[in-house]
Amino acid sequence: MKKLLSFGTRSCAGCPASLAVRRILEAVGDNVIIVNGTSCLEVTTTQYPLSSWNVPYIHTAFECTGAVASGVESALKKMGKDTHVVAIAGDGGTFDIGLQSLSGMIDRGHNVLYICYDNECYANTGLQRSSATPYGAATTTSPPGKFSIGNKTFKKPIVQMLAAQKVPYVATASLAYPDDLERKVKKALTIKGPKFIHILAPCPISWRFDSSETIHVARLAVETGMWILCEIENGKIKINVTPSERKPVKDYLSLQGRFKHLKDEDIKKIQEKVDDDWKAYKKY
Amino acid sequence: MKKVIEGSHAVAEAVRLCAPKVIAAYPITPQTHIVERLSKMVADGQLDSEFLCVESEHSAMSACIGAQATGVRTYTATASQGLMLMHEMLHVASGMRLPIVINVANRSVSSPLSIWNDWLDAMAVRNSGWVQLFVESSQEALDTTIQAYKIAETIHLPVMVCIDGFYLSHTYEPVDIPDTVAGYLGDYKPKVVLDPKNPITQGMMAGPKAFQEFKEQQHRALLSAKDVIKNENREFNKKFGRIYGDGLVETYNMESADYAIISMGSVCGTIKHILDEKKISDIGLIRIKTYRPFPNKEIIDLTKNLKALGVLEKDISFGIGGALWADVKTFVDKPVSNFIGGLGGRDIQIEDIVKIFGTIRKEEENIHWVGSQLKK
């Protein structure tokens, strides 16, 4: 079978983006137009004159993925074409610079599946801090030092923000649970209107772990409760994986160089946040 | 049909006739009346378009790019800060060779805040690879907006039609509205679109070995617009009986002129009035209609027997002088004085222009700020 994203992209060993996109495209099929925000994904798959994409693909700039997807979808509507529109952007392009454009797309109700692959930093430019970067993580613009723990803020709650905007379908996904990801993509495509899927994308280079460990790190994120697999359909939340006994967050953090500088009290603070998040999710 | 209408509504009529399938716009003074009228046309079923109330001008151009790349005609309009916010995507649109059409209701750029007319907005984006056309009247705004689609779709580059904010956008004039543009502008038939049946990749990354040739091709395409604009000017005349110079420049009172004033847009109407009223024979007007691509050959030919020139413009390229003056100076080897005026909506009055004529006759070369209240 023809691969919709060819092998041999220029991505790094263990890159979660190409893994995720392959699985997404398997679920979507070939009747799709891909809209991609500037990111590692674009840079590693579209080096002129070579393209890794066997589906129609457009990239324009960083902050406008939602708006470009809106235009594509509107054109298809006027042409009477029944083609899926899937927008793919990173966390910088979604949480930060592209948030307004995404919010506009949702507000106008465009029939687009928007997927954010979240490697928790600006990986493409060399690991700078984004508002998706977790508390305590070292990045090149949130380095730990005498006066700093590293990143001073907790991750922006994008899923809750979008659920509050009444997006008909919001889900989180993990590379360690590919069947769950595939099911969510397929389900999203049956729903008319804007949809949002948020995939944790452990980046070996930025997070500083061995490139053979991508899936392991992704799984530990779920098993420690740092990443909650859930879906929110018309405001109703369903948690897809509830670990019977959550592993301590230390198991997840200690695998990654970006958290190496954290002291026990810092890790305790992160553990408490995760515990609180679970309580809040269960109440929600 | 001839009607007395606002310049903005003349533009909206032109857009209705060209029937873009997707319109994406964000409100900004003095562009609002254009998009308000278009959204009403869509609401009333006179125009079969998707009207996207986008959340910014950046998204307006982004949505147009997405829609045009998918295979439909698009439209947007903006001004001033809106054009500044859109600037990044102007380069993307021209680089991707998408024939998008925009009207800019020219307005100043902050700071200080000014909602009034000048050309600081359009001049700030003159290197973005778009065709830039400046019009003098509401009728010309309507006619040029129709031609813009034809030009854009012929050369695969986007076209910006500049109308002076308020002076044209908010002024009522008699305007002849064609019943149809069928027979002049056909259906949009793009060669390259986003289509699952023939998957292509648009907006790629190009390394140092490839990038420069993209830009060279873009420059060649923009230069090729000159012949296309001239041709469309003639074709339009055949169909609708209206013509604007040769499409690139229009001359007035040049028959026995020793001097010329060069300018653009609605102020040219005032200049023509004065030339007539005062029966001036030694000075003529060269109105630049096509600012990009720049009509260098035409300027050289028209000025070769003249003693001196003056360039009157509503913009400043800080640190050099007027942008239009600098362009003219590139091609003309004789005294060219620069008159910068009308910034932030200040009226350029009859006395100002009479004074400018006097200065041009001195055959000097200086930069003058029209009506400056500052000490020298």
Q: What is the mean pLDDT of residues A2-9?
A: 89
B13/chain A closest Cα distance in angstroms: 21
Domain-wise residue ranges, chain B = 2-240, 250-369
Q: B58, A101: Cβ pair inside 8 Å? A: yes
Q: How confident is the model at residue A159 (pLDDT cuts 50, 70, 90)?
A: very high
Closest partner residue to A32 among B63, B196, B198, by Cβ? B196
Distance CA(A170)–CA(A116), nearest Å, equals 11
Contact B263, B271 (CB under 8 A): yes
Residue A192 has pLDDT above 70, yes or no: yes
Q: What is the pLDDT of residues B3-13, one digit of tens each?
A: 999 999 999 99
pLDDT at residue A243, as a whole number: 87
Closest partner residue to B54 among A51, A54, A67, by Cβ? A67
Q: What is the pLDDT of residues B159-191, one digit of tens each?
A: 999 999 999 999 999 999 999 999 999 999 998
Residue A1 has pLDDT above 70, yes or no: no
Residue A281 has pLDDT above 90, yes or no: no
pLDDT at residue A240, as a whole number: 96
- B304 Cβ neighbours under 8 A, 6+ residues apart: none
pLDDT at residue B162, as a whole number: 98
Q: A31, B201: Cβ pair inside 8 Å? A: no
> In B182-322, where do the E strands start and end?
201-202, 249-252, 259-263, 283-288, 290-292, 308-313
Is the confidence metric ipTM above 0.95 for this complex? yes
Q: How confident is the model at residue A148 (pLDDT cuts 50, 70, 90)?
A: very high
Return the percentage of chain A with pLDDT > 90, whole number: 95
CA nearest to B206 within chain A = A48
Residue A107 has pLDDT above 90, yes or no: yes
Residue A284 has pLDDT above 90, yes or no: no
Residue A93 has pLDDT above 70, yes or no: yes
Q: B66, A68: Cβ pair inside 8 Å? A: yes
- Residue environment code for A126-135, b if the CB has 16+ CB neighbours within 10 A, otherwise e: ebbbbbbbbb
Q: A101, B55: Cβ pair inside 8 Å? A: yes
User: What CATH fold (topology level) applies to the domain A16-283?
Assistant: Rossmann fold (3.40.50)
Q: A68, B50: Cβ pair inside 8 Å? A: no
A239/chain B closest Cα distance in angstroms: 33
CA nearest to A40 within chain B = B205
Distance CA(B140)–CA(B240), nearest Å, equals 12
CA nearest to A70 within chain B = B63
Q: A75, B203: Cβ pair inside 8 Å? A: no
pLDDT at residue A8, as a whole number: 87
**Cβ–Cβ pairs < 8 A, chains A and B:** 156
Q: What is the pLDDT of residues B272-313, one digit of tens each?
A: 999 999 999 999 999 999 999 999 999 999 999 999 999 999
B183/chain A closest Cα distance in angstroms: 22
B54/chain A closest Cα distance in angstroms: 6
> What letter represents residue A134's amino acid?
P
- Estimate to the nearest angstrom the gap between the alpha carbon of A73 and the chain centroid: 22
Nearest Cα neighbor of A44 from A103, A117, A98 is A117
Disruptive mutation site among B70, B73, B192, B200 for chain A (greatest number of A CBs within 10 Å):
B70
Please, is B263 exposed, middle or buried when counting C-beta atoms within 10 Å of its C-beta (0-12, 13-18, 19+)? buried
Alpha helices of A2-141 — where are they, by DSSP H?
Answer: 16-28, 40-45, 65-79, 91, 99-107
Q: Which parts of chain B sit beneath pLDDT 70?
A: none
Helix, coil or strand: residue B4: strand
Q: Does A54 touch chain B (CB under 8 A)?
A: yes
Q: Does A120 touch chain B (CB under 8 A)?
A: no
Which chain B residues touch A54 with a CB distance below 8 Å?
199
Q: Are strands A236-239 and A230-233 parallel, antiparallel or unpaired?
A: antiparallel
Q: Does the B2-240 domain belong in CATH 3.40.50.970? A: yes
Closest partner residue to B196 among A48, A56, A66, by Cβ? A56
- B323 Cβ neighbours under 8 A, 6+ residues apart: B123, B126, B313, B315, B316, B317
Q: A56, B205: Cβ pair inside 8 Å? A: no
B348/chain A closest Cα distance in angstroms: 40
Assign domain B250-369 to its CATH architecture. 3-Layer(aba) Sandwich (3.40)
